[in-house]
Structure 1
Amino acid sequence: MARSSSANSKPAIAALAFTWTLERRLSMIYRTFGRTGLQMPVFSCGGMRYQQSWSDMPLADVEKENQRNLEATIRRALELGITHIETARGYGSSERQLGVILPTLPREELIVQTKIAPEADPAVFEKHFEESLDRLNLDYVDLLAIHGINNHELLWQSVRPGGCLSIARRLQSAGKARHIGFSTHAAMPTILDAIGHQGDGGFDYVNLHWYYINQTNWPAIELAHEHDLGVFIISPNDKGGMLYRPTDKLTELCAPLHPIVFNTLFCLARPEVHTLSLGAARPSDFDLQVSSLPMIEQASSTIAPIVERLDQAMQQAVGADVATRFAEGLPDWEESPGYMSMAIMLWLRNLAKAYDMVEYGQMRYNLLGNGGHWFEGLNAKNLESISDEQFNKAVKDSPFAQHVRDWLAETHKLLGGSELKRLSQS
C-alpha cells in the first residue's frame, strides 16, 4: 500500500491549526519522556476503546459513525495538546482506522506509538510490525513497544541475542521506529529485569500499571527513572478502579475532587511519571482529566487530605496491619496450592470492603484463570479441594496465616461469578 504523506493533506492541516497550537500552549503540560527526549503530554490518547471491533476487519466493514467518532476523538485530543496517539496491533481494527486519519495530520506534531507482541520467532515479530506500519499508513512510528513482557519466557523472547529487541533496534536503524520500549503486566522481578537489561541498548521507555489503588510497581518506576526511561502509566481510569463509574463511597472519600481527577493528580504529583493513558471512547472522555491541569503544580498538597481519608477508610475496614501487610509472606501463584493468586485476591477483597468496589473486584477476580499471561494465576473456586495441611504450609510465612483461608473463601463468595475475558479476547 502506498502511504499517504501530510504534504498531500494541506486543507486538513489548516483546519486544525486554528485551535491546536494556541490552546495547547495555554493549557497542556509536557514532560521529557526520559532518554527519548520527546516532549510528552501528560495525557496520552490510548487507542483501545474507540475502534469498531476487537477483531481485525477490513476498513470497508467499519461503520461510518464509528469512524467519525474515532476521528472526532483524535481531533479533540490534538486540540487539547494531547499529541501522543498510542495503539497496538492487538487492538482489533484500531490501527486500520487510525490509518485513515493519521496521514491527514501534521506528522511532525505527532508522537505515534504502536505495540507488537513478542514472538519466539523474531521474524514473525518483524512481519507483524511491518503490517502495523502499513495499517497505520505511516512511514515510521515514534515509539515501538514490545507488547506484554508479562513473564520471563516473554522477556527472554524479547531480549535474547537476535530476539525481538534486536529486531526492533534494526527497525530503528532503518528509520521505521524512533524509540523502543516495552509494555508489561508482569510481576515486579520481571519488570525490574526488563528495565535493567542493557543488551541491544536496553529499552527507552516502559508502559506499566501504577495508581492509587495499586502502588506495587513504584520500585520499577524508580529504577526506570535511574535508567532515564520514559514512564507511561497504563489505564489509570479503568484498571485504576473503573473510575468512569466510581462507587458512591469512593466519590465521597475523594470529594471535592472526582475520583478520576484525584487519581490523575496522585499519579502526576510524581515527576518520575511522564504520561497517563486515557483510553477515550468519545471526545468528551478527556474533559475530567483536562480539568486537573491547573491543579498539577500543587498536586501533592491538594490530594494529601484525600489520601489520608482513603488510607483511613482502608485501615478501618480491614485493620491497619492488614491494609499494609496483607501480601507479606504469601507465595507467588506458581508456588501456591491450586496456583491461586492469593495476594491479588486479598487486594481485591480489601478494595471491596474499604471502598465498596465490588464491581471492580468482580471484573478483576473473574479474569483470574481467563486472562492468560496478562493476569496470571487462578482464583479460589477450587479452594475446598486443597487440604488444610497443604494450604497452611504454603502460607506459613504470612503474618495472617490463620486467617488467609477464610479471607479467600470470603472473597470468592463476594466476587466469584461468571468467567470473564480480556477485551482483546472478547
Structure 2
Amino acid sequence: MKYRRFGKTNRSLSVFSLGTMRCLASAEVAYHTLAQAVAAGINHLETAQGYGKSEQYLGEALQTGLGVPRSQLFITTKLVPTADATTMAQAIDQSLDRLKLDYLDGLAIHGLNTWEHLDWINAETGCMQAVRQAVAEGLVRHVGFSTHGALEVILATIATDLFEFVNLHYTYFFQRNAPAIAFAQAKDMGVFIISPADKGGLLYTPSETLEQLCQPFSPLELNYRFLLSDPRMTTLSVGAANASELALPLAAADRVEPLSPEEVAVFERLEDHQANALGNDRCSQCYACLPCPEGIHIPEVLRLRNLAIGYDMTQFGQYRYQMFENAGHWFPGNKGNRCTNCGDCLPRCPEALNIPALLRDTHERLNGKAGRRLWE
C-alpha cells in the first residue's frame, strides 16, 4: 500500500480508502470488510450519516478493534449541508454517538451540489458556524466537502478557502472536473476520488468490447492507473460490499508510477476507437450547449451516448441515464425526450451536432426503469 499527503491536513492517507456505503448487509459483514481493509494497509475509513446503518456498524467495529491504534486511522463522516447551525450541531453529535468516537478526523459537508448549498456555507449563521465550533472544541480535526455538483459550483466552493479536502468525481471516462483538481492542488487540498469503479463505468463488469480494447490490462486496472499515476490524487474510494471485493483494487495499491508506454498506447487506442465509432456524432463535452430551456443536461446525456456507442457501455449508460429526474440535485437534469426541438442549443455547438436527434436516440437506447440513489 502506498500513502500520500492529504493536502493541508498533513495526514498521510492510503491511496485507497474504504467507503462504507455498501457494507450494509450486517454488522458482521461490515466488520470483516473493515478488518481486512485495515490489515491490507487502508487507513482511511469513510462513511456518512445518510448511509443506513453504516456509521453504527463502523462504530461497533472500532469498539471491537481493527488491529491498529485509533490514532493510525483517519475516520471521516459526511453530513448534508443545512441552512442553520443548530441542525448541523445536532448532526455532528449524532454521528459521534453512532461512531462511538470522541472526535472525527474528517468531517465532509455531504453533497454540496447547488448554489443554494454554497449560500448556506457562506452564511454567518449557517451550518459552518457549528462546524467551526466543533473544530474549536476538538470534536472535528479537518473539514472538507463532497460534491456531485456542476464544475462551476465546485470551483466556487474551493475558492471559499473553508475546506481542507474535496471528494469529487473524476475518472478516465469523466474528466470534466479536471479544472477543479488543478484548483484544489493550488489550494493544497486533499483530493478524494468518489467511486471510480462503479460510477466510473461499472468497471467490475465491463462490456466485452471494452475488455478487448483494454487488453492486456483490465478496464478497472487502467482506470486506477490513470488516477494513481497522477500525484495530485490522494486517495480513491473503494465501495466494497464485502471483503472479497477488496482484492481487485488492492492489487493496484502500490502502482503509483507514471503510465507506461504500453498503458499510454491503450488509452490512445480507446480514444481512436470511440472517435471512429461515433464519427461526426461524437460530443466533445465542451458544455457550450447549456443552459437548455427544458432543463436537459445535454452534455451528460451525450456523454452516456458516447460511451454506449464507443465502448458498448450500454449497461452503465442505462444505470446513469435512469437517474435523471429521479435523484434531485445528486444527478440533476431532465431526460432527452423532454427536447422540444426549440433549436436553442444548435448554434452554440462547435461540432454542429444535430442535438435534438441525438437526445432522442440516447433516450431510445438508454431509458428504462427509474433509478435512485443507493441508500434510497
Q: CA deviation at 1:361?
A: 0.5
Counterpart check, 1:338 vs 2:294: yes
Q: CA deviation at 1:399?
A: 2.4
Counterpart check, 1:413 vs 2:364: yes
Retained in 1: the 8 A contact 2:283–2:306?
Answer: no
Indicate the SS of the match to 1:339: coil
Counterpart check, 1:94 vs 2:54: yes
Cα 1:29–1:302, aligned 2, differ >3 Å: closer, same or farther?
Answer: farther
Match of 1:354 in 2: 310
Query: Which of 30, 44, 49 in structure 1 is aligned with 2:3?
Result: 30
1:235 maps to a residue whose letter is S
Count of residue pairs brought into register by the alignment? 373
> Aligned equivalents of 2:117 and 2:260: distance in 1?
37
How big is each residue's C-alpha offset from its partner over 1:85-144, in whole Å with a ceiling of 9 and x where there is no partner? 000001011001111111233211111000000011221111111101100111111000
TM-score normalised by structure 1 residue count? 0.85
> Aligned equivalents of 2:187 and 2:54: distance in 1?
32
> Aligned equivalents of 2:287 and 2:298: distance in 1?
11
Match of 2:284 in 1: 325
Moved more, 361-370 or 159-168: 159-168
Query: Which of 63, 76, 89 in structure 1 is aligned with 2:36?
Result: 76
How big is each residue's C-alpha offset from its partner over 1:34-84, in whole Å with a ceiling of 9 and x where there is no partner? 0000101000000101114xxxxxxxxxxxxx2221111001101110010
2:317 maps to a residue whose letter is G
Q: CA deviation at 1:161?
A: 1.7
Q: CA deviation at 1:259?
A: 1.4
Match of 1:161 in 2: 124
Match of 2:350 in 1: 399
Match of 1:310 in 2: 270
Match of 1:63 in 2: none
> Aligned equivalents of 1:328 and 1:273: distance in 2?
25
Counterpart check, 1:182 vs 2:133: no
Match of 2:112 in 1: 149
Match of 1:173 in 2: 136
Q: CA deviation at 1:300?
A: 4.8
> Aligned equivalents of 1:225 and 1:328: distance in 2?
24
> Aligned equivalents of 2:182 and 2:285: distance in 1?
23
> Aligned equivalents of 1:161 and 1:50: distance in 2?
37
Retained in 1: the 8 A contact 2:108–2:145?
Answer: yes
> Aligned equivalents of 1:408 and 1:421: distance in 2?
21
Cα 1:33–1:362, aligned 2, differ >3 Å: closer, same or farther?
Answer: same
Unaligned runs of 5+ in 1: 1-27, 53-65
Query: Which of 138, 142, 160 in structure 2 is aligned with 1:197?
Result: 160
Q: CA deviation at 1:298?
A: 4.1
> Aligned equivalents of 2:80 and 2:357: distance in 1?
39
2:116 maps to a residue whose letter is E
1:35 maps to a residue whose letter is K
Q: CA deviation at 1:323?
A: 4.3
Indicate the SS of the match to 2:167: strand
Q: Which has the higher contact order (CA 8 A, sep 6+)?
A: 2
**1:60-75, aligned counterparts within 5 Å?**
66-75=26-35
TM-score normalised by structure 2 residue count? 0.96
Q: CA deviation at 1:410?
A: 0.5
> Aligned equivalents of 2:95 and 2:213: distance in 1?
43
Counterpart check, 1:368 vs 2:324: yes
How big is each residue's C-alpha offset from its partner over 1:252-304, in whole Å with a ceiling of 9 and x where there is no partner? 11122221111111011111100000001111212111212343224354521
Moved more, 97-106 or 353-362: 97-106
Q: CA deviation at 1:166?
A: 2.8
Q: Give the % identical residues.
A: 40
Cα 1:294–1:119, aligned 2, differ >3 Å: closer, same or farther?
Answer: closer
2:186 maps to a residue whose letter is E
Retained in 2: the 8 A contact 1:125–1:164?
Answer: yes
Unaligned runs of 5+ in 2: none
> Aligned equivalents of 2:51 and 2:262: distance in 1?
36
Cα 1:314–1:79, aligned 2, differ >3 Å: closer, same or farther?
Answer: same
How big is each residue's C-alpha offset from its partner over 1:151-176, in whole Å with a ceiling of 9 and x where there is no partner? 11011112222322232121111111
2:290 maps to a residue whose letter is P
1:225 maps to a residue whose letter is Q
1:315 maps to a residue whose letter is A
Indicate the SS of the match to 1:88: coil
Retained in 2: the 8 A contact 1:159–1:166?
Answer: no
Q: CA deviation at 1:193?
A: 0.4
Query: Which of 175, 197, 200 in structure 2 is aligned with 1:240?
Result: 200
> Aligned equivalents of 1:400 and 1:350: distance in 2?
14
Match of 1:11 in 2: none
Structure 1 runs of 4+ off > 6 angstroms?
none
> Aligned equivalents of 1:32 and 1:421: distance in 2?
34
> Aligned equivalents of 1:156 and 1:168: distance in 2?
15
1:91 maps to a residue whose letter is Y
Q: CA deviation at 1:393?
A: 2.4
> Aligned equivalents of 2:115 and 2:294: distance in 1?
21
> Aligned equivalents of 2:2 and 2:83: distance in 1?
39
Retained in 2: the 8 A contact 1:269–1:300?
Answer: no
Retained in 1: the 8 A contact 2:47–2:77?
Answer: yes
Q: CA deviation at 1:357?
A: 0.7
Counterpart check, 1:423 vs 2:374: yes
Query: Which of 172, 176, 187 in structure 2 is aligned with 1:227?
Result: 187
> Aligned equivalents of 1:274 and 1:323: distance in 2?
32
> Aligned equivalents of 2:199 and 2:287: distance in 1?
23
2:30 maps to a residue whose letter is L
> Aligned equivalents of 2:37 and 2:326: distance in 1?
33
> Aligned equivalents of 1:192 and 1:266: distance in 2?
23
> Aligned equivalents of 1:407 and 1:161: distance in 2?
45
1:325 maps to a residue whose letter is S
> Aligned equivalents of 1:260 and 1:325: distance in 2?
23
Retained in 2: the 8 A contact 1:103–1:138?
Answer: no
